[in-house]
């Protein structure tokens, strides 16, 4: 309970700080007044740019954190992350095709719609390959195959890009960012992220039982097939929607559950909610950092997350190897 309160307080503080951070020079009191009244250019900036950006950062971070904790709990592997089942790569492929074909230009919200559609197709292909009763190992192998296929087609789209400007647009989107996002993006992602997180949350009891092994979980009347389906569709819905609106942002679902697991005594059901808060804190803090570190340059959120997450990932691998020796 104390950890949850600390994370909520930290998230609230970061949310307020995010609203007062940006190119428009204004004091904290001026920013909050403009947000409340909505008058003048600053009011427009607060309501149409900063507020949806901060809310989307919380939504995306929470979705990635919960999904990462769920995947690690189900697979009983601290190195697992949401992209393992190929949803992130497939969502990115959908966005790349939308940009490549012009669908994103001529259709309202065409880019996130195409991205989420490809994430849904990836889940169907994943279940077709793994089978409804396949083991966790089969699920991993099927996810690797889907990710490899999505990556190959993404590279093909870049290779066949009609001009350098289209290539540049695709590459920048793949880096991941919350810049220039509006409430339209937030409302588009919100229902899918909420449904996905609720589906994942319903598996808390099953994830606790799985810590004792699949045989013990089955003896406790836990349906492994239903658990897998809920997790796959829940992760696909939340991560697919998050990737659709902000691009590929890695390492959140990998690092956050790993850092918070010792603080909840390794209990997967408790870790789900805590990882959601932790993911929201991490993404919101990183989004503030990209605006503070290089305010005059468009530093991408996905790039900063990779710079932060990769060393932590290497440290995790080293600790895992040391524990096995």
Task: Give the rounded percent of residues in the chain with a pLDDT score beyond 70.
Answer: 96
Is the separation of the CB atoms in 126 and 89 below 8 Å? Answer: no
Look at residue 71 and tell me whether its pLDDT is greater than 70. Answer: yes
CB-based contacts of 99: which residues, under 8 Å, 6+ apart? 111, 166, 169, 170, 173
> Of the CATH numbers 3.40.50.1820, 1.10.3470.10, 3.20.20.70, 3.30.1330.30, which one belongs to the domain with range 2-324?
1.10.3470.10
Confidence band, pLDDT 50/70/90 cuts, at residue 324: low
Q: How far apart are CA 83 and CA 64, in angstroms?
A: 10
Quote the pLDDT of residue 130.
Answer: 77
Look at residue 151 and tell me whether its pLDDT is greater than 70. Answer: yes
Which is higher by pLDDT, 190 or 41? 190
Which is higher by pLDDT, 286 or 170? 286
Q: In the chain, what are the domain boundaries?
A: 2-324
User: What average pLDDT does this structure show over 79-105?
Assistant: 83
Taking alpha carbons only, the member of 23, 66, 213, 119 closest to residue 111 is: 119
Quote the pLDDT of residue 325.
Answer: 59
Quote the pLDDT of residue 322.
Answer: 65
Torsion, Cα of 264, 241, 289, 315 (10° steps)? 50
Q: How far apart are CA 325 and CA 322, in angstroms?
A: 5
Quote the pLDDT of residue 66.
Answer: 95
Q: How far apart are CA 230 and CA 236, in angstroms?
A: 10
Residue entry with tokens 């192998």: 141
| pLDDT winner (highest mean) among 123-132, 195-204, 230-239, 253-262 | 195-204
Q: How far apart are CA 40 and CA 44, in angstroms?
A: 7
User: What average pLDDT does this structure show over 224-252?
Assistant: 87
Confidence band, pLDDT 50/70/90 cuts, at residue 313: confident
């Amino acid at each position: 309970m104390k950890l949850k309160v600390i994370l909520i307080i930290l998230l609230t503080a970061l949310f307020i700080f995010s609203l007062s951070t940006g190119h428009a020079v204004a004091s904290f009191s001026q920013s909050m007044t403009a947000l409340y009244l909505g008058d003048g250019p600053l009011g427009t900036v607060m309501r149409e740019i900063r507020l949806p950006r901060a809310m989307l950062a919380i939504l995306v971070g929470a979705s990635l954190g919960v999904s990462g904790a769920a995947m690690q709990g189900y697979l009983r592997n601290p190195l697992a992350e949401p992209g393992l089942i190929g949803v992130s790569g497939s969502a990115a492929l959908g966005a790349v095709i939308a940009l490549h074909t012009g669908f994103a230009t001529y259709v309202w919200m065409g880019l996130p719609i195409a991205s989420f559609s490809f994430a849904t197709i990836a889940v169907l292909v994943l279940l077709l390959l793994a089978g409804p009763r396949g083991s966790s190992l089969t699920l991993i192998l099927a996810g690797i195959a889907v990710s490899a296929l999505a990556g190959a087609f993404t590279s093909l789209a870049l290779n066949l890009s009609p001009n350098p400007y289209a290539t540049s647009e695709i590459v920048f989107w793949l880096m991941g960012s919350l810049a220039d996002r509006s409430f339209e993006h937030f409302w588009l992602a919100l229902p899918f992220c909420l449904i996905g997180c609720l589906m994942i949350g319903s598996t808390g009891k099953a994830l606790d039982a799985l810590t004792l092994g699949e045989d013990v979980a089955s003896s406790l009347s836990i349906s492994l097939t239903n658990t897998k389906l809920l997790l796959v569709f829940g992760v696909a819905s939340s991560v697919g929607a998050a990737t659709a609106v902000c691009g590929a942002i890695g390492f959140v679902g990998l690092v956050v559950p790993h850092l918070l697991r010792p603080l909840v005594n390794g209990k997967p059901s408790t870790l789900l909610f805590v990882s959601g808060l932790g993911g929201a804190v991490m993404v919101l803090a990183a989004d503030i950092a990209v605006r503070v570190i290089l305010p005059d340059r468009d530093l991408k959120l996905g790039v900063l997350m990779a710079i932060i997450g990769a060393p932590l990932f290497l440290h995790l691998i080293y600790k895992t190897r040391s524990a096995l020796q």
